[in-house]
Chain A
Amino acid sequence: MNSSMILFIVIGLVAGTLGAVLGIGGGMIITPILTVMMGLDIKYAIGASIISVIATSSGATIAYLKDDMLNLRVAMFLEIATTVGAIMGALLVGAFSSTFLYVLFGFFLLYSTYNMIRKLMSKKGEAVYTGHDSTVDKLRLADSYYDKAEKKQVDYSMKNVPGGFIMMWAAGLASGLLGIGSGAFKVIAMDTIMKMPLKPSSATSNLMMGVTAAASATVYFFNGSIRPDIAGPLSIGVLVGATIGARLMQVLKPKLIRMIFVPVIFYMGMQMVLKGFGVLH
């Protein structure tokens, strides 16, 4: 038991670092390790994973707020969509076939992988959108951040806010219905649909995830899915990892972050499609 607590701290450290860099929460790393490698009941794995999402979010947010990487207005505005989606998802559990949903969301992730690869290949590189949009102006969403890798202040705007809002709602719905963290969907909504740069997208996704996860975490806390011997040491590891990840992300080139992001969402998409077709459980 003692040695496994130390192992959980180490797993948390890795998951927290990667989760903070990519804005995905780290649940997709933790759940397979706990279930496949350690043979733990999926119920406890999900409970531990949701606590890790919160730990990544809170740990990383502290660093991102200090360094002005976050877009607080975007986060607050889009959180309405994710939380409403999450509640609807929880209410609708059982109304849809989970097979269909896994396949649908899985293919969406694979399609996003393709889009991201295209963006990586494009000669223009990471072009920053600075145009005007009436919704963006009205909600005062345009912002700027300091890119430590490129050593310059980047002013950015965004577009297609309704499209991003709908995608965020779908992300919330997916997390409510399927019990998955939907950080990857959140990053895609901001980066691909709303044309927000990748770094503030990832940082803002981190911030939002904690709020969405807090709602479901209370359920798991009271129904006994959260084991202190697993979630306790894991969250300590994640908190430290997220702090490291949040600092690391800022000095990484956006292109490199995208190169790490692509295989991760490809893996997630494949996993969901295979789950949908009953190949994986």
Chain B
Amino acid sequence: MKMKKDEMRDVELIIGKILRVGVIVSAAVIVIGILLYFFNGGAGYPNGEWPRRFGVMFQGIAQGKSYAVIMLGIFLLILTPVLRVVVSIYAFAKEHDRLYVYITTAVLIILIFAMIFGYNG
């Protein structure tokens, strides 16, 4: 029991650290975007428009458009749970917990399938 508990603790600490980096980075990007909005005095796009495709988004970021930066931050935030699943697979593998490597890999595959399905649907 003690063994199991310590193993789990390590797994959780690794996931926690990487997830924290992901969250801080995405939050920082969003905050930079909001600050740009205030200092640049606007969205950088006509009223009611914002980038929703990667090409337009990165172009907008290069031009320092605030809405493009905020959208990048939001997209990074959407990726944080996916990042968490990926790191979990690695962490379980490190602890030689094969059953949970399989279970977590299954979750990742379903998740990727859902994202592709959603993007095309």
Contacts and interface: CB of A to CB of B under 8 A. Distances in A.
B121 A83 contact: no
B77 A68 contact: no
B12 A226 contact: no
B5 to A, nearest CB: 7
Given A72-B88, A144-B5, A222-B53, A232 B34 contact: yes
Interface string A208-247: 0011011111110111101111011101100100000000
B50 A227 contact: yes
Interface residues of B, number: 55
Nearest to A51: B74
A168 interface: no
Given A59-B23, A72-B8, A221 B52 contact: yes
B29 to A, nearest CB: 10
A145 to B, nearest CB: 11
A140 B100 CA distance: 10
Interface in B8-66: 8-9, 11-13, 15-16, 19-20, 22-23, 27, 30-31, 33-34, 37-38, 43, 50, 52-53, 66
A210 B80 contact: yes
Contacts of A228: 33, 43, 50, 66-67, 70-71, 74
Contact of B107 (A80, A87, A218): A80
A82 to B, nearest CB: 9
Nearest to B112: A215
A57 interface: yes
Interface string A56-75: 01110110011010101100
A235 B20 contact: no
Interface residues of A, number: 53
A151 B61 CA distance: 49
B77 A235 contact: yes
B74 A218 contact: no
Contacts of A144: 5
Given A54-B81, A79-B107, A213-B81, A65 B13 contact: yes
A219 B77 contact: no
Given A79-B107, A83-B114, A228-B70, A54 B78 contact: yes
Interface of B: 4-5, 8-9, 11-13, 15-16, 19-20, 22-23, 27, 30-31, 33-34, 37-38, 43, 50, 52-53, 66-67, 70-71, 73-75, 77-82, 84-85, 88, 99-100, 103-104, 106-107, 110-111, 113-115, 117-119, 121
10 contacts: A5-B37, A72-B15, A86-B114, A87-B114, A140-B4, A211-B81, A215-B115, A224-B52, A228-B33, A229-B43
